Each structure stands twice: as C-alpha cells, then as structure tokens.
Amino acid sequence: MRVDFDRVVEAAQLIPRQFIRTAQYHSEGLSRLLGLDITLKVETANPVGSVMGRAAEWWFTNRTPVHRVVCASADDFGVAMAHAGRKRGIEVELFGPLNADAAKVEALRHAGTTVRLDGTDPEEIREEAHRYASMVDGILVLDGEHIELVEGAATMAAEIEHLAEPPDAVFVPLGSGTLALGTAAWCHDRMPRTRVVGVGAERAPAMIRSVREHRVVITPSADTSAPGLAVRAPSELMVGPLAAALDDTALVSEQHMQQAAAALAVHEGLRVSLDGAAALAAVAMQAPSLKGSSVVVAVTSRAIG
C-alpha cells in the first residue's frame, strides 16, 4: 500500500472544509506538566467527532457511485462512513460489538443508520459483515484496507507541515493503521527529521507486535476500552508498509489513557475518548526521554454521551 502524495494534496483541496485545516496549537498547560513543547492537533470539532471524517469523505469522493456500503465498525470509522454516505444518499450499514459505545450507536440509529450489534470479537464481526455484504450485493469497506482512506487521513499530516518549525516527533494512535501510515508517509517525505510514533493499547497489542516483528501477529483477544485500537488480526496490506514507515511504537495501558483524557479535559477543555487520548498517554509515559523536544500529539476522537 503506497501513498501517492499528489493525491493527498488533491484530497486536501476536495475534502469538505469542516474536516480539514483543523486546530493545531501549543498547549501551555500540558507542556508545563510534561516538560516538553507540546502542540495539539485537534481532530474532534467536526460533524463526526474524529479524524476519520477526512478518510471517509475521500473514500466516497473516489468510489461514488455505489448503492450500499457495509462496514465492520460502530465507532469512529463507522460513524464517519455513515455520515459521508448519508450526505450522498447512499445506504451505509454498520456491524459492531455488543459493547459498542451506546451513545454513538443511539446517535447513528437516530440519524437513520442501520447498526447491527452481535458478539465482542472484532474478527467475527468482520466475517459477519463480509457475509452480509455478499448477500446484499454491498461493498464491504474495512478500515486499514483501502488506500483512499490512508490518503484522506494523510491530509492531517499535510497540515502539520505548516507549523513554524518541523516537530521532533508526531504521536498518533495506530489502530488499523490508516492514520498512522498516512502520517508517517507524509512526514518522512516532507519532514524527514520528524519521528512518527504509532500508539496501541496494551490489551490489544496485535498491530504493535506485527509492526515490531514485521509479520502479521494475531492475538486471541483485543480487550481494550479504546475501540479504535481494538485490533487482534491486522491487515496484511498494512503491516509491511507500517513497519517500514513508523520510527517507533508504544503501548499504553487503560489507566494511562484515562489519565491522558482527564489531562486534556483539565488543561484544554477537550472531552475525548480513550482512542483520542492514546497519543498523549504515550507522550506522558516517554516524557523523561523526550524532555525538551517538540512533539505533536494527535487528538483524534471525542467522547459523546
């Protein structure tokens, strides 16, 4: 999976304004707390509440016309795909776990999106979504398996390039790899001195282990409260490119993500999900070794409900 930088530039011109040119600013409170120069890249103030709005809009821009889309996500990715499809009059049906965020599911259903919840294993949910898509002649869209999603997400990194000085590091949640690959590819091409670190959950380490070992590692479970990081069988399409592109990876605990979410609320008034706080959690854990560095923290998902 190779990122075409010309297409990222085109995406930045065509993705709707409410998803791009998002806030990026120095956080005095967090910088003082951690002893670093921290810039927040805030992706939560848009109609879907996450960075996935960029990815979904670019996917539909390139794939329309389609009549029905099926996704194995009832969280940020699914919310973004449903919103982008609804705008275009395209039916998007979502499959998710029984423990999906109740507030997000309620909002989706209120907007008219069909959400089917069953089980808790992400791979079984993907398999069920695949069977259903085949049955109804729909297009199955999985996070981490479409280059258009990566290109759309990479527009976030293109905006980081416009900071007065290139940062020493950018921390992003890893998840299925869409945002991390787009960010790492862009930064290495345009800001080669900037390190990109992908962040995963300790209770869902499959993608981190896969990147570190340069092979697909499947784990028995992905038992994290951060659904965007709940990957237990990474895509083969992603592992190789991520292993080549990322400079480092970090695993964070549920407690560290909760603490980071609380810090963002206290110091910046941001209400974020655990996914959205994962990058800051990793920075906080590594603060002693990063002391004095300039770091961009991607805040990628808001909490609702």
CB 233 within 8 A of CB 246: no
What per-residue confidence (pLDDT) applies to 133? 94
What per-residue confidence (pLDDT) applies to 305? 60
- The reported pTM is 0.94
Output Rg (C-alpha) for the chain, integer angstroms. Answer: 18
In tens, the pLDDT along 69-127 reads 999 999 999 999 999 999 999 999 999 999 888 988 998 998 889 999 998 888 899 99
What per-residue confidence (pLDDT) applies to 120? 86
Let me know if 164 is exposed, middle or buried by CB neighbors in 10 A (0-12, 13-18, 19+): exposed
Look at the alpha carbons of 69, 222, 225, 30 in this order and tell me if their dihedral is positive or negative: negative
Q: Which residue has the tokens 């869409």?
A: 178
Q: Beta strands of the chain (E only): which ranges?
A: 24-26, 37-42, 68-71, 91-96, 114-117, 139-141, 169-173, 195-201, 248-252, 294-299
- The residues near 113 (Cβ < 8 Å, ≥ 6 apart) are 82, 86, 92, 93, 94
What is the distance in angstroms between the CA of the first residue and the CA of the last residue of the chain? 36
CA distance 139 to 63: 10
What per-residue confidence (pLDDT) applies to 218? 96
Low-confidence ranges of the chain (pLDDT < 70): 305
What per-residue confidence (pLDDT) applies to 123? 87
DSSP calls for 41-84: EE--SSTTSBTHHHHHHHHHHHH-S-SEEEES-SSHHHHHHHHH
For the chain, give every residue range classified as CATH 3.40.50.1100: 5-51+147-299, 52-141
CATH number of 5-51+147-299: 3.40.50.1100
Q: What is residue 171's DSSP assignment?
A: E
What per-residue confidence (pLDDT) applies to 48? 94
Amino acid at 160: I
> Quick one: tokens of 247?
């400079």
- Residue 13: helix, strand or coil by DSSP? helix
Amino acid at 293: S
CATH number of 52-141: 3.40.50.1100
